């Protein structure tokens, strides 16, 4: 992986610092490690098991009786029953998980496997990934930290912060850095835990605020920030995944001191050089060197071999019955139109020819004879209509008289 130009991170000076003209600290390589939420959830889940305290029921619970079954023939169930007399307890069922005062099913034992081992490299990779996530303001905001007023990301503070002794001063420093909003959110979120935890010495819960990371051993900074709710302090040589990704969620808001920030390269190494503090540890390489899908797709190398875009949606043709639908027939058989027309014309011609032929064969009546015939027909019509009722519409219909 080529050494990309590493951005410079400017160091925030606190009130009372000497004004320096330092350009800034180059970004340590850890911050460019691949961000792997899957690795972090996996490791976080396992590592969270490691501070568990065993719980179990008493070994003797439910067995401190000398109960024996009464056997059959006594009209009672065969569960072992407490012997003796003179008390309610006599004759009651014992030992079974279904019995009152009996031992539970599968009594919990202390030799349950409480802790989980995680591979060293996996643990280190998870921490590196979590550190990389703390440098991305989008992820940190998504985790819920209030970083609107923070001037630069990652936030690095000059080493004078390590000398702070009083909490009041610590708060002032946070306000200067624009990080107080997050700390205040944590302070206001203190509340009583829902559930049985409140009566098991875990009464109060609160949100997580910023994580302060310092570089020199034994700094007074620890004591100064210790009392602020939600604010955690950590030495850069002993960073904890449970602090960097609380709840398995990436992107804790981290405030670095200058010496801590500079030490990161020593502690975690780079992509080529192994770390000096962690034997043989080299930062994990990402799966894709260029993960910008947009640039990849629109690059010339890809676009030059791509087929033209096809936006036409091929829908199925509506099926029309060609025996009924004229357009459908013509689509299939363009000759149909002419064929039909010719057939119709031929039929008309045929009918006409037949009529003429028959007419020509009929005996022609003379004019006189045809007049007489017509008169006779008219007389017949008058005979069949009843003149008394021709005024009424109803009857004229029956009579067949055309009025």
Quote the CA–CA distance of 270 and 256 in Å, as a whole number: 19
Binding mask 129-158 for other proteins (x = CB under 8 A): ------------------------------
Say whether residue 323 binds other proteins (CB under 8 A): yes
Q: Which two tokens stand for residue 99?
A: 């019995």
3-state secondary structure at position 357: helix
Q: Are 115 and 232 in contact (CB under 8 A)?
A: no
18 versus 306: smaller Cβ distance to other proteins: 306
- Decide if residue 294 touches other proteins (CB under 8 A): no
β-strands 204-205, 191-192: how paired?
antiparallel
Choose which of 53, 72, 290, 321 interacts with other proteins (CB under 8 A): 321
The upper half-sphere exposure of residue 287, i.e. CA atoms within 13 Å in the direction of its Cβ, equals 2
- CA gap 219, 380 in Å, rounded: 138
Q: How far is the CB of 320 from other proteins (least distance, A)?
A: 7
Contact call for residue 178 and other proteins (CB under 8 A) = no
Strand ranges inside 202-323, DSSP E: 204-205, 211-214, 232-235, 254-257
User: Does 332 contact other proteins by CB under 8 A?
Assistant: yes
Contact residue for other proteins among 298, 370, 381, 390 (CB under 8 A): 298
Q: Identify whether the C-beta of residue 284 lies closer than 8 Å to the C-beta of residue 128.
A: yes
Interface residue with other proteins among 303, 359, 363, 382 (CB under 8 A) is: 303
The tally of CA atoms less than 13 A away on the side-chain side of residue 197 is 9
286 binds other proteins (CB under 8 A): no
334 binds other proteins (CB under 8 A): yes
Q: Does 300 bind other proteins (CB under 8 A)?
A: yes
Among 60, 288, 294, 335, binds other proteins (CB under 8 A): 335
CB 62 within 8 A of CB 102: yes
Q: State the SS3 of 165-227.
A: CCHHHHHHHHHHHCCHHHHHHHHHCCEECCCHHHHCCCCEECCCCCEEEECCCCCCHHHHHHC
Residue 319 binds other proteins, judged by CB under 8 A: yes
Q: How far is CA 395 from CA 32, 161, 384, in A?
A: 108, 121, 13
Single out the residue of 288, 248, 212 nearest to residue 129, CA to CA.
Answer: 248
Binding other proteins by CB under 8 A: which of 304, 363, 402, 403? 304
Please identify, using beta-carbon distances, which residue of 60 and 311 lies nearer to other proteins: 311
Q: Does 333 bind other proteins (CB under 8 A)?
A: yes
Stretch that binds other proteins, among 214-222, 282-290, 314-322, 354-362 (CB under 8 A): 314-322
Q: Is residue 308 part of the contact set for other proteins (CB under 8 A)?
A: yes
Q: Which is nearer to other proteins, 88 or 307 (CB)?
A: 307
Exactly one of 336, 395, 399, 401 binds other proteins (CB under 8 A); that residue is 336
Smallest gap, in angstroms, from Cβ of residue 342 to other proteins? 9
- Site residues (vs other proteins, CB under 8 A): 298-300, 303-304, 308, 317-323, 328-329, 331-336, 338-339
């Amino acid at each position: 992986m080529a050494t990309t130009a590493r951005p410079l991170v400017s160091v925030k000076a606190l009130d009372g610092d000497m004004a320096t003209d330092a350009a800034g600290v180059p970004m340590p390589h850890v911050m460019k490690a691949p961000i792997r939420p899957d690795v972090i959830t996996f490791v976080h889940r396992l590592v969270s098991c490691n501070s568990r305290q065993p719980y179990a029921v008493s070994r003797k619970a439910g067995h401190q009786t000398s109960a024996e079954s009464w056997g059959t023939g006594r009209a009672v169930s065969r569960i072992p029953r407490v012997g003796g007399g003179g008390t309610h307890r006599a004759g009651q069922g014992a030992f079974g998980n279904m019995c009152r005062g009996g031992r539970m099913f599968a009594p919990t034992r202390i030799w349950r496997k409480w802790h989980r081992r995680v591979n060293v490299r996996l643990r280190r990779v998870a921490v590196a990934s979590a550190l990389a996530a703390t440098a991305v303001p989008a992820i940190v905001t998504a985790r819920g930290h209030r970083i609107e007023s923070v001037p630069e990301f990652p936030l690095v503070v000059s080493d004078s912060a390590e000398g702070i002794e009083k909490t009041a001063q610590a708060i002032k420093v946070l306000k200067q850095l624009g990080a107080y909003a997050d700390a205040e959110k944590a302070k206001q979120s203190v509340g009583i835990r829902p559930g049985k935890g409140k009566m098991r010495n875990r009464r109060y819960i609160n949100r997580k605020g910023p994580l302060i990371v310092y570089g020199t051993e034994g700094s007074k900074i620890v004591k100064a920030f210790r009392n602020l709710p939600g604010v955690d302090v950590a030495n850069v040589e002993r960073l904890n995944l449970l602090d960097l990704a609380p709840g398995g969620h990436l992107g804790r808001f981290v405030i670095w001191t200058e010496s801590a920030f500079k030490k990161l390269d020593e502690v975690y190494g780079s992509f080529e050089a192994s770390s000096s503090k962690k034997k043989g540890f080299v930062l994990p390489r990402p799966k894709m060197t260029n993960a910008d899908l947009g640039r990849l797709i629109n690059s010339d190398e890809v676009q030059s071999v791509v087929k033209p875009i096809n936006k036409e949606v091929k829908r199925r043709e509506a099926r029309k019955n060609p025996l009924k639908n004229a357009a459908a027939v013509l689509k299939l058989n363009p000759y149909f139109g002419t064929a039909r027309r010719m057939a119709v014309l031929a039929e008309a011609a045929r009918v006409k020819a037949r009529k003429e032929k028959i007419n020509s064969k009929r005996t022609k009546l003379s004019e006189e004879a045809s007049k007489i015939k017509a008169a006779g027909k008219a007389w017949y019509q008058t005979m069949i209509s009843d003149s008394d009722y021709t005024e009424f519409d109803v009857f004229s219909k029956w009579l067949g008289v055309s009025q």
